[in-house]
A and B are shown apart, each in its own frame.
Chain A
Amino acid sequence: MLRPRLRWCAAALLLVAMSACDESLTPISGEVDGYYTINGYLDVDADTQFVRVTPVRFQFERLPAEPLEARVFTRNLSTGVETTWQDSLITLDDGTTDHLFHSTALVTPGDTYEFVIERPDGIVVRTQQDVPPIRPILPAGFEQRQVGNNLDAQFFQDVALRGLNVAPDDLTMRYRYINPATAQPDSLAISYVRIASDEGVPTGDSWTVPIQLSDDRFSVLNSLGVPANDTTIVLLGLSIDVVVLSRNWRSNVPRSFVQNGYGFFGARTRYQRTWQLTREALSQLGFESADG
C-alpha cells in the first residue's frame, strides 16, 4: 500500500499525464447567447407579413434548413390576440434554404406586437415592436413666398403631420389632373423626403412639410409636355402619402433587442390624405379648377 502522501503524488502525476495526453480542442461550446436570428418587419400597408427565422448553427458552413421545431407567433400586446405564423422554406441566393414565416393577419397602427419563437424545450426567443400610429395630416393656408434670388415668388402650402417630431421616412405628393392628350384623369407622384431641404421642420407637436406647389406644377407640366405658361391644365386634387418607420430603423446599423436571439424586427405605417385647393389658389398657381 502506498502511503497517503505518495498516493496524492501519484494521483497528481496521473492527472498531469492524462491532461497532457489530450490533444483535442473544443472550439465550439454550443452554449449560445441567442438561438435564432429574426429578420423582418410588420407592414400596416401589406396584406401578408414576412419574417425570416434562421437558427443559430454550430458549424461555419451554411447547410440546408431543417424543420424548425418551434411555434412562431405574434401577440398583440394591446389586445392580447395571438396569431400563429406559417412556415415556408425559401431558397437562398447560394442555393441553401431557410425559413420564411408569413401571416395574413392585419397589423393595427399604434399597437405593440411581440414576435415569439417558442421551442418545446422551453427556450423562448422574443422581441417586440411598437407599430407607429396614424397621425392627423393638416394642410394649412396657401401662400406666396420669396425663395432665394428668384424674381417670381413661389406658392407653398404647409402640411402639418401632427404628433411627429422627426421627418417621416417617406413622403410623396400626388397631383391628379386631366391629361389634355387623352382627356382622362391622370396623376404624377413627386417624392419629397429624398431632398433634404424638403424634409420640413418641427413646429410644436407637429412636423411641418412645405409643399412646393409652384415647383410641383412645373413638374406636372413638364411631364405632360406643355409649356410653362400654360394655364389650362385641370387639377382634380392633390394627396400626400406618408410612411413612418419604427424607431429602431433610424440608426445607421438598425438593431433590435431580441431576447435569446439576434436580428432585426421593425414596423412600418403608411397613411394618406387627399384635398383640393380653392379656385382662387388654383388660379393663382396656374391650374384650372374642375368646376370651371
Chain B
Amino acid sequence: MRPLLAILLLLLTACPAVAQYATLSGTVADAENGQVMQGVNVVLKALDGDQRGMATDAEGRYTFGRLLPGDYALTISFVGYLAQTDTLTLAFGDQRTYDAQLQPDQELLDEVVVEEERTSTSQEGFAGFERIGLSELKRVPMPSVSPDLAGYLLTMPGFVTTGDRGGQLFVRGGTPTQNLMMVDGMVLYQPFHIVGLYSALPADLISNVDVYAGGFGARYGGRLSSVIDVTTRSGNKKEVVGAVSLAPFLGTARVEVPVVPGALSLMLSARESLIERIAPNLLGQEMPYRFGDQFAKLHAFLTPTTSASLTAIRTYDRGRINGQPNTPLSTWNNLALGGRFNYIPDESAVMMQFGLYYSNWSSRYALSTTQQRRAEVSGVNLTMNFVYLMGESQFDFGILGRTNLFDYDLGGRGNNAARSVTEGTFYADGRFQLTPAIRIEPGVRLQTFTVDAGRTLGPRLRVLVRPTGPTSRQVFSLAWGLYHQAIVGLSNEADVTDAFIAWAPSPAFQGLPTSMHLIGGWTWRVLPWLEWTLEGYRKTLDNIAFPRYSETTNDPISLDLTEGDIIGGDASLEITLLNWYAHASYGYNAVEYTRTVGLSRREVFNPAHDRRHQVNVLTQVTRGPYRLNVRWQYGSGQPFTQLGGYYEAYVAAQPQDRSFHTATGRTRLDRGPLYAARLPAYHRLDVSVQRDFDFDRSLVTVQVGAINTYGRDNLFTYDLFTNERIDQLPLIPTLGVNVELK
C-alpha cells in the first residue's frame, strides 16, 4: 500500500499550488424545505467568454478551482426551479463560498423541456447508466399509492427477477449477489423485500438513484455485475412535514423534522406490509408474506463548507417461500448504519468525503421442516473519497477499507465456520474533456484481499462522444472495465426457483471471480420529445462458483469452477410530452455458463436467469388531476432442469440383513440435462389511476388499480417433491390513499 499512500500524499500536497488561483464553492438547496439538491446545473462564465459547468453532488455541493482573477457570471438552474444568476469578481487567492437556495416554479415544471433534465448529470449518456428520480419512480403502477424503486428497475431492459416473490434481481446476466446496492454509502446485502415489488426503502425518501447496469467507474467495485447507488433526501430543514398512506399491500408513514431550523433535520420513515392479513378476504387465498422497514436520517450543515449525516435502515421479511402452510417461516433481516462527513477546504479545489458504514444481513430459508439453510454476513466499510477539480476536468480518488464476516449452514456438506475477508482499495477516476465533443474517463482500482492472497488491478475506461458538442442530439459512448469480487453469493440455482443466498468468501479456484465488461451505446434525440437508445454489451465471467447439489434433496455437495459469457442488447424508445409519457424497450440477453466437472469434463448450459427476451412498455397519461399509469412486462421463459423421474435408493444391504426386502428407500431425482428446458413465459399488465386532492394543509392522493390485470398465472416456484406449483401474484385489485401534510 505504500505506493498508494505516496500517490495520495502527492495529490494532497499538490493542492496548495492552486491557492494562488481563486476557488468558488457552495451548496445548493431547495428554498422551500432546505434540502440539498443533487444534479443542479452550475455554470460559471467568465466575461471573456470562457465557460465552465458542473452538476452538484449528492450533498448539493459544487466547486470550481483554478479560476483566474476576473469577473464571472454564475448561473444555477434545475428543472422545475427558478434559475439564479449572479455576478462575481474574483481576485488571486480568493476562496469564495456561494450558497444558493432555489425556488420551485410550478409553471416552469410543467413546461420543462427534456434537454434541461438530460444535462443534469455528468454521467448522463453513458452506456449502461441511468439516473432515476422520484418522477420516474412515480410512473410505475404499484399496488400501493407510494412508488418503489424495485417496481421501476423491473421496467429496465436487462433487469430480470425470478418473480414477485423472493426479491432477487439479475442485471444483464449477472446474479443478485453480483449487484452492489448502496444507500447513502451503506451496503445492503438483500435490497429487496420478499414481495419483489418492493425495495428496502420507500421511494419518497429517495433523492436519486444511479443505476449502472455495467461498465461502472473505478469508484465502485467488489461486484461483478452492476451498481445501484441510492442517495436519500436530507430531510426538510424548515418545517415539519409528513405523509401517511394506506393500501391493501402496505401502510407507510414518514415525518421530517427541522431539529435546528436551517441546519439540522431528522427524517423518519416506517413501512409495514398488510397483504398477509388482507389477502384471504381480498383475494380468497393466503399470501403468507410479511415485511417491513424503518429508516432514519439525521443531516446537518455544520459550517458553510462542511456537512454530516447519520443514516440507519432496518428491514425484515418473513414468509413461506414454498407456500406450504406446514413449513417453517423463511426470514431475512437487514441492518445498516452509516455516517458521512463532507468537507470542502477553503484553500484547495478538493472536495472530501469520509464515511463509516456497518451492514448486517441474516437469513434462514426453510424448504421443509427438515431442510433448512441459514446464513449471516456482516461488513464494516471505511471510505475516504476526494474530488480534485481541474477546470473542466476532474480527478476522483479514494481509499477504502472493508471487512466482511460470514457464517452459514447450507445443510448437507455446505457448513462453514465463521470466516472473514478484509480488503483494502485505492481507486482513481479521471474525467477529461478533451474537446467539446469528446470526454474520456480512465480509471483504475487497486485492491488487496486477505483471501486467495490476492491483489487485483481493475482498469476502467469510459468514452463519451457528442459529435457536435454539448448540444448534440446524438451521444455515442463506450465503457470497458475489469471487475473483481472477493465475496460471492451461493444459491441453489438448480431449483426451479430459489430465493436463498449465502454470502461467503470466494472459493479459491484459480483466482478471484473476475468479469470484463464492454458496453457500447447510442442515444439519439430524434425530436425534442422523442429519444431512441440502443445499447449492446458483452460480459465475460471467470472463476465464478456454481453450486452442485445432490440428487436426493437440495444439499450442496460441491462448488464447481464456472465461466460465463453474456451477450445482449437493448433498444428503447422514450416519448416525453406535456401530458403523456411512454417508454418501450426490448432487451435481448443470452447467458452461457461453462463449468468444469471433475478434472476435465466441461458442461455448457444456460443458467436459470437466462431470460432471453424481454419487453417492457410503460406509459403515463395525465388529464387534469388524474394520472393513468400502465405497465406491461413480458419475459421469455427461463431455463430449468427437468426431471426424468424418481428412483428409490435403499440403505445398502448388509450381509445377512434382509430388511431391504421390505424397506422403503429414499427418493432420489433422475435429473435431465442441466437447464435444458424452459419455464413458461412471464407477462403481466399493471394499471393504476390516481387523483390528487389539494387542500390547504395537505395533498391527498387516491389510487385505484390492479396488479396482474388479466390474471396471468405466472410461475414462481415448483416443488419437485410434492408436484405443487406456486404462482406469482394473482390479479390484485388495489385501493389506496396517501396524505401528504404540507
Q: Scan A26-55; emit 1 where CB is below 8 A from any B CB, else 0.
A: 111111111001011101000000101010
- Across the interface, do A37 and B647 meet the contact criterion of CB distance under 8 Å? yes
- Across the interface, do A27 and B647 meet the contact criterion of CB distance under 8 Å? no
Cα(A170)–Cα(B715), bound, Å: 55
Chain A residues in 8 Å Cβ range of B665: 37, 39, 54
Chain B residues in 8 Å Cβ range of A32: 644-645, 647, 670
- The residue on B at minimum CB distance from A94 is B664
Chain A residues in 8 Å Cβ range of B15: none
Chain B residues in 8 Å Cβ range of A254: 652-653
Q: Which of B642, B644, B645, B663 has the most CB of A within 10 A?
A: B645
B692 contacts the other chain (CB 8 A):
no
- Across the interface, do A27 and B660 meet the contact criterion of CB distance under 8 Å? no
- The residue on A at minimum CB distance from B720 is A27
- Across the interface, do A25 and B679 meet the contact criterion of CB distance under 8 Å? yes
B697 contacts the other chain (CB 8 A):
no
Q: Could you say which of B646, B658, B677, B714 contacts A56, with CB atoms under 8 Å apart?
A: B646
- Across the interface, do A59 and B646 meet the contact criterion of CB distance under 8 Å? yes
Cα(A158)–Cα(B680), bound, Å: 71
Q: Scan B591-628; emit 1 where CB is below 8 A from any A CB, else 0.
A: 00000000000000000000000000000000000000
A243 contacts the other chain (CB 8 A):
yes
Cα(A115)–Cα(B335), bound, Å: 60
Q: Which of B650, B670, B713 has the most CB of A within 10 A?
A: B670
Chain A residues in 8 Å Cβ range of B649: 37, 262-263
- Across the interface, do B718 and A93 meet the contact criterion of CB distance under 8 Å? no
- Across the interface, do A54 and B646 meet the contact criterion of CB distance under 8 Å? no
Chain B residues in 8 Å Cβ range of A191: none
- Across the interface, do B653 and A39 meet the contact criterion of CB distance under 8 Å? yes
- Which residues 165-207 in A have Cβ within 8 Å of B in the complex? 169-170
- The residue on B at minimum CB distance from A36 is B647
B244 contacts the other chain (CB 8 A):
no
- Across the interface, do B718 and A27 meet the contact criterion of CB distance under 8 Å? yes
Chain B interface mostly helix, strand, loop or mixed? loop
B108 contacts the other chain (CB 8 A):
no
- Across the interface, do A22 and B680 meet the contact criterion of CB distance under 8 Å? yes
Known: A19-B636, A27-B496, A41-B653. A34 touches B722 (CB 8 A): no
Question: How far apart are A19's CB and chain B's nearest CB, in angstroms?
Answer: 5
Known: A27-B496, A29-B677, A33-B644. A20 touches B683 (CB 8 A): yes
A60 contacts the other chain (CB 8 A):
yes
Q: Could you say which of B658, B712, B721 contacts A50, with CB atoms under 8 Å apart?
A: B658
- Across the interface, do B642 and A29 meet the contact criterion of CB distance under 8 Å? yes
- Across the interface, do A90 and B683 meet the contact criterion of CB distance under 8 Å? no
Q: Scan A84-122; emit 1 where CB is below 8 A from any B CB, else 0.
A: 000000111110100010000000000000000000000
Cα(A62)–Cα(B648), bound, Å: 9
- Across the interface, do A92 and B496 meet the contact criterion of CB distance under 8 Å? no
Chain B residues in 8 Å Cβ range of A26: 642, 677
- Across the interface, do A29 and B655 meet the contact criterion of CB distance under 8 Å? no
Cα(A41)–Cα(B723), bound, Å: 34
Chain A residues in 8 Å Cβ range of B723: 27, 59-60
- Across the interface, do B672 and A29 meet the contact criterion of CB distance under 8 Å? yes
Q: Could you say which of B642, B653, B662 contacts A264, with CB atoms under 8 Å apart?
A: B653
Chain A residues in 8 Å Cβ range of B663: 92-93
- Across the interface, do B652 and A245 meet the contact criterion of CB distance under 8 Å? no
A interface residues, how many (CB within 8 angstroms):
49
Chain B residues in 8 Å Cβ range of A52: 650, 660-661
- Across the interface, do A60 and B715 meet the contact criterion of CB distance under 8 Å? no
Q: Could you say which of A33, A92, A100 contacts B664, with CB atoms under 8 Å apart?
A: A92
- Across the interface, do A40 and B660 meet the contact criterion of CB distance under 8 Å? yes
Cα(A31)–Cα(B718), bound, Å: 19
- The residue on A at minimum CB distance from B659 is A93
B725 contacts the other chain (CB 8 A):
yes
Q: Could you say which of A27, A90, A253, A268 contacts B652, with CB atoms under 8 Å apart?
A: A253
- Across the interface, do A90 and B661 meet the contact criterion of CB distance under 8 Å? yes
Question: How far apart are B675's CB and chain A's nearest CB, in angstroms?
Answer: 13
- Across the interface, do B642 and A27 meet the contact criterion of CB distance under 8 Å? yes
Known: A25-B718, A27-B718, A28-B643. A268 touches B655 (CB 8 A): yes
Chain A residues in 8 Å Cβ range of B714: 23
Known: A28-B645, A40-B660, A59-B646. A266 touches B653 (CB 8 A): yes
- Across the interface, do A28 and B718 meet the contact criterion of CB distance under 8 Å? no
Chain B residues in 8 Å Cβ range of A243: 655
Cα(A93)–Cα(B662), bound, Å: 6
- Which residues 168-196 in B have Cβ within 8 Å of A in the complex? none
Cα(A34)–Cα(B660), bound, Å: 20
Known: A29-B642, A34-B647, A253-B652. A23 touches B662 (CB 8 A): no
- The residue on B at minimum CB distance from A29 is B642
Cα(A264)–Cα(B653), bound, Å: 8
Number of A-B contacts (CB under 8 A): 127
- Across the interface, do A91 and B653 meet the contact criterion of CB distance under 8 Å? no
Cα(A32)–Cα(B668), bound, Å: 12
- Across the interface, do B670 and A60 meet the contact criterion of CB distance under 8 Å? no
A257 contacts the other chain (CB 8 A):
no
- The residue on B at minimum CB distance from A262 is B647
Known: A28-B642, A57-B645, A58-B646. A20 touches B634 (CB 8 A): yes
- The residue on B at minimum CB distance from A41 is B653
- Across the interface, do B680 and A23 meet the contact criterion of CB distance under 8 Å? yes
B667 contacts the other chain (CB 8 A):
yes
- Across the interface, do B642 and A54 meet the contact criterion of CB distance under 8 Å? no
A149 contacts the other chain (CB 8 A):
no
- Across the interface, do A22 and B720 meet the contact criterion of CB distance under 8 Å? no
B278 contacts the other chain (CB 8 A):
no
Chain A residues in 8 Å Cβ range of B660: 39-40, 52
Cα(A243)–Cα(B657), bound, Å: 14
- Across the interface, do B653 and A29 meet the contact criterion of CB distance under 8 Å? no
- Across the interface, do A100 and B661 meet the contact criterion of CB distance under 8 Å? yes
Chain B residues in 8 Å Cβ range of A96: 664
Chain B residues in 8 Å Cβ range of A40: 653, 660
Cα(A19)–Cα(B645), bound, Å: 26
- Across the interface, do A50 and B661 meet the contact criterion of CB distance under 8 Å? yes
Chain B residues in 8 Å Cβ range of A262: 647-649, 668, 670
Q: Which of A27, A43, A264 has the most CB of B within 10 A?
A: A27
- The residue on B at minimum CB distance from A20 is B681
A24 contacts the other chain (CB 8 A):
yes
- Which residues 258-287 in A have Cβ within 8 Å of B in the complex? 262-264, 266, 268
- The residue on B at minimum CB distance from A32 is B644
- Across the interface, do B661 and A56 meet the contact criterion of CB distance under 8 Å? no
Known: A39-B650, A54-B665, A266-B653. A29 touches B644 (CB 8 A): yes
Chain B residues in 8 Å Cβ range of A19: 636-637, 681
Chain B residues in 8 Å Cβ range of A30: 644-645
Cα(A32)–Cα(B718), bound, Å: 20
Cα(A170)–Cα(B656), bound, Å: 11
- The residue on B at minimum CB distance from A261 is B647
- Across the interface, do B647 and A25 meet the contact criterion of CB distance under 8 Å? no
Chain A residues in 8 Å Cβ range of B720: 27, 60
Cα(A22)–Cα(B636), bound, Å: 11
Chain A residues in 8 Å Cβ range of B648: 37, 54, 62, 262
- The residue on A at minimum CB distance from B636 is A19
Chain A residues in 8 Å Cβ range of B637: 19
Question: How far apart are A176's CB and chain B's nearest CB, in angstroms?
Answer: 23
Cα(A29)–Cα(B676), bound, Å: 11
Provide 26 A-B residue pairs closer than 8 Å at the C-beta atoms, listed in order of the A residue: A20-B634, A20-B683, A25-B679, A26-B677, A27-B643, A28-B642, A28-B645, A29-B643, A29-B644, A29-B677, A31-B644, A37-B648, A37-B665, A39-B665, A52-B660, A62-B648, A90-B661, A92-B663, A92-B664, A93-B663, A170-B655, A245-B655, A249-B655, A254-B652, A262-B647, A268-B655
B interface residues (Cβ-Cβ under 8 A, vs A): 496, 634, 636-637, 640, 642-650, 652-653, 655, 658, 660-665, 667-668, 670, 672, 677, 679-681, 683, 712-715, 718, 720-723, 725
Extra contacts, 9 of them, besides A20-B634, A57-B646, A264-B653 (Cβ < 8 A), are: A22-B681, A23-B713, A23-B715, A28-B644, A29-B642, A34-B647, A58-B645, A59-B646, A92-B663
List the 4 shortest-distance A-B pairs measured between CB atoms, nearest first: A32-B644, A254-B652, A29-B642, A56-B645
